[in-house]
């Protein structure tokens, strides 16, 4: 465990350490106490029986709730579908609204503010400096990496793909316990060998992102490099080499698909989906179709009330060129999802061929909801727009979407389609920004043999750290309580929930506190909020369309007080509502604009 700043103590709902074994929960389903060592530190120790499983954690980037086949998506995902058939499908799984905080929580088990990722890459709440503890945008504070505790439990530990948690010596995958790594350190990049950033940085390398293999910089990538394929190749290599030992493995495979720029090398695959979307790309109809497929699967009420972000243009007001533009974006996006599914199939096929599939815990999820922002969001600094135009010369040519040098983004209307019935998109604290697909194949698979076991319980990315620890039989010593609780009892079918059903969150000054079906939200008007607190009941209104704060002011007051407690315990700086509102027009112009082709 490292101590970089002097950690802050945390208590409260879902902020305690509670790692109960399945055996304990079978006897006493009411819960368990957190064991405490003689020096007052929280101590977790999970017993285990039988062979300890391998763990393969697959994180997709900016994938929306309805994008996969089991959730009603348009793209073909037969390999992910098969994982769902063998395991669990979560309908109420959540991440943080942007990628770096989610990845920080996954790797450390902590609320992101406690480990330096209360914000990311210089984007903070108005009035909050990036020098504020908890808002540096890179790993900091007291934590023990999940790979560290698994390495201590005699696991081989592998990382491939996106990191986005800092590149200082104490912040690298190697520092956090990964024996082998092939890492892209930045938030995202061109998916091809050019390694291009979204915009220039102020220090070297100015134009390109940072890649590393096993602690050594990777200066050049092969000409045929494509991120999704390369990360899969690297993870397969690590797993295969590790077969020489008798140790189980923990693999963290962090794809950059389907983050913009939307790139995929298979032109034929793009054409396949282009035929679909050119024929039907009215986003009102596409969203309705996805909701209908979710309803057919029993995952949503077919009569769910929905709403659109206020910046969504009227479909009938769009020009034929704009409609065609949106179809091309959706085609490349779907092709990327199809392609990443094929790569996941390579992994599961290898595990089956080597006899490891049945004894592997596999998790497939996303770091946040679908991305609505255009490339303009990366051009806030002077000269960045001109830099993009120079380094991505195919910008504006829809027929080049997907190729090196192009820079397509999904676009706000398409991103809301991706979120399906849930309101809004990445960067917002509404369900569309945080509710993500999650498929879990447990060791041994689904004994029911009747397809996915659908789990409706509220679960969160913070629960994966203690869950993996329990499966591994790992011991955790933490100066601070973990933010989540082990989901192993739920996975094993001996509990119907994970920890409590309360959860607090903050990002960019936006606030959330959940208690059961009640959700208190502050978001600016231009980000879909009311400009002050709003109260939603997710049981009767999962689309967050009816503000009930005037009907239930007592509930709103209670949740507001609980949010203040959460904030105080986790180093959150509460930005005043009026200050956040004042900055909202500038931010909304960046986040919700559509960069139409000419």
Could you give the CA distance from residue 125 to residue 574 in angstroms, rounded to a whole number? Answer: 9
Q: How far, in Å, CA of 214 to CA of 223, rounded?
A: 21
CA neighbours within 13 Å on the CB side: how many for 247? 18
Cα 53-444-56 angle, rounded to 5 deg: 45
Give every CB contact of residue 237 below 8 A, 6+ residues apart in sequence: none
The string of DSSP codes covering 532-577 is: SEEEEETTT-TT-----TTT-HHHHHHHHHHHHHHHHHHT-----H
Neighbours of 49 (CB within 10 A): 9
Residues 6+ apart with CB under 8 A from 406: 261, 263, 392, 394, 395, 397, 400
DSSP string, 255-298: --TTSSS-B-S-HHHHHHHHHHHHHS--HHHHHHHHHHHHHHTT
Pairing of strands 211-213, 216-217: antiparallel
103 SS3 class: helix
Is-cis flag, bond preceding 261, omega within 30? yes
Please write down the HEC assignment for all residues of 412-468. Answer: HHHHHHHHCCCCCCCCCCCHHHHECCEEEECCCCCCCCCCCEEECCCEEHHHHHHHH
Whether the CB-CB separation of 100 and 164 falls below 8 Å is answered with yes
Beta carbons within 8 Å of 407's beta carbon, 6+ residues apart: 260, 261, 375, 388, 392, 394, 395
**Residue (of 259, 481, 494) closest to 377 by Cα position:** 259
598 class by beta-carbon count within 10 Å (0-12 exposed, 13-18 middle, 19+ buried): exposed
Mark residue 316 as left, alpha or beta (left: phi above 0; alpha: psi -120 to 50; beta: remaining). alpha
List all residues 6 or more positions away from 171 whose beta carbon is below 8 Å from its beta carbon: 138, 139, 165
Which positions are annotated as active-site residues?
A: 99, 164
CA 363 to each of CA 74, 366, 455: distance values in angstroms, whole numbers, following the listed order: 21, 10, 14
């Amino acid at each position: 465990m490292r101590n970089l700043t002097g950690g802050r103590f945390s208590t409260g709902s879902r902020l305690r350490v509670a790692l109960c074994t399945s055996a304990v929960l079978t006897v006493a389903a009411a819960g368990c106490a957190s064991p405490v060592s003689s020096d007052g530190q929280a101590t977790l120790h999970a017993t285990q029986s039988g062979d300890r499983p391998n763990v393969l954690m697959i994180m997709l980037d900016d994938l929306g709730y309805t994008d996969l086949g089991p959730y009603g998506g348009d793209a073909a995902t037969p390999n992910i579908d098969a994982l769902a058939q063998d395991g669990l499908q979560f309908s109420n799984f959540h991440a943080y609204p942007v990628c770096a905080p989610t990845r920080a929580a996954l790797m450390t088990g902590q609320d992101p503010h406690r480990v330096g990722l209360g914000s990311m890459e210089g984007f903070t709440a108005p009035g909050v400096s990036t020098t504020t503890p908890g808002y540096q945008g890179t790993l900091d504070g007291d934590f023990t990496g999940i790979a560290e505790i698994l390495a201590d439990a005699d696991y081989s530990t592998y990382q491939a793909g996106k990191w986005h948690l800092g590149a200082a010596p104490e912040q690298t995958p190697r520092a956090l316990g990964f024996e082998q790594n092939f890492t892209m350190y930045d938030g995202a990049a061109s998916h091809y060998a050019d390694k291009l950033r979204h915009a220039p940085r102020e220090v070297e390398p100015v134009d390109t992102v940072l890649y590393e293999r096993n602690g050594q910089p990777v200066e050049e990538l092969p000409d045929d490099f494509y991120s999704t394929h390369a990360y899969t190749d690297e993870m397969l290599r690590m797993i295969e080499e590790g077969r020489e030992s008798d140790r189980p493995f923990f693999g963290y495979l962090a794809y950059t698909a389907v983050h913009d720029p939307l790139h995929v090398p298979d032109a034929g695959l793009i054409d396949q989906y282009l035929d679909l979307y050119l024929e039907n790309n009215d986003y009102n109809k596409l969203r309705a179709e996805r909701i209908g497929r979710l309803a057919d699967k029993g995952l949503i009420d077919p009569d769910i009330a929905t709403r659109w972000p206020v910046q969504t243009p009227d479909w009938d007001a769009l020009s034929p060129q704009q409609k065609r533009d949106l179809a091309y974006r959706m085609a490349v996006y779907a092709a990327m999802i199809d392609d990443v599914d094929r790569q996941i199939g390579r992994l599961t096929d290898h595990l089956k061929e080597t006899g490891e599939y049945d004894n592997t815990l596999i998790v497939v999820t996303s770091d946040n909801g679908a991305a609505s922002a255009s490339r303009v969001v990366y051009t806030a600094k002077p000269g960045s727009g001109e830099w993009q135009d120079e380094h991505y010369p195919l910008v504006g040519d829809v027929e080049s979407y997907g190729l090196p040098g192009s820079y397509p983004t999904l676009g706000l209307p398409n991103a809301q389609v991706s979120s399906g019935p849930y309101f809004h998109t990445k960067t917002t604290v509404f369900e569309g920004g945080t509710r993500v697909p999650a498929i879990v194949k447990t060791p041994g698979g689904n004994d029911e043999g009747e397809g996915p076991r659908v789990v409706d319980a509220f679960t969160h990315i913070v629960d994966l750290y203690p869950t993996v620890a329990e499966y591994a039989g790992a011991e955790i010593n933490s100066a601070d309580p973990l933010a989540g609780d082990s989901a192993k009892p739920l996975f094993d079918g001996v509990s119907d929930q994970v920890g409590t059903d309360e959860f607090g969150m903050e990002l960019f000054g936006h606030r959330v506190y959940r208690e059961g079906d009640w959700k208190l939200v502050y978001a600016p008007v231009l980000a879909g909020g009311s400009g002050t607190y709003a109260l939603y009941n997710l049981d009767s209104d999962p689309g967050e369309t009816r503000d009930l704060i005037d009907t239930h002011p007592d509930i709103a007051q209670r949740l507001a007080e609980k949010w203040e407690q959460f904030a105080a315990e986790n180093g959150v700086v509460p930005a005043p509502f009026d200050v956040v509102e004042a900055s909202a027009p500038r931010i909304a112009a960046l986040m919700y604009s559509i960069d139409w082709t000419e």
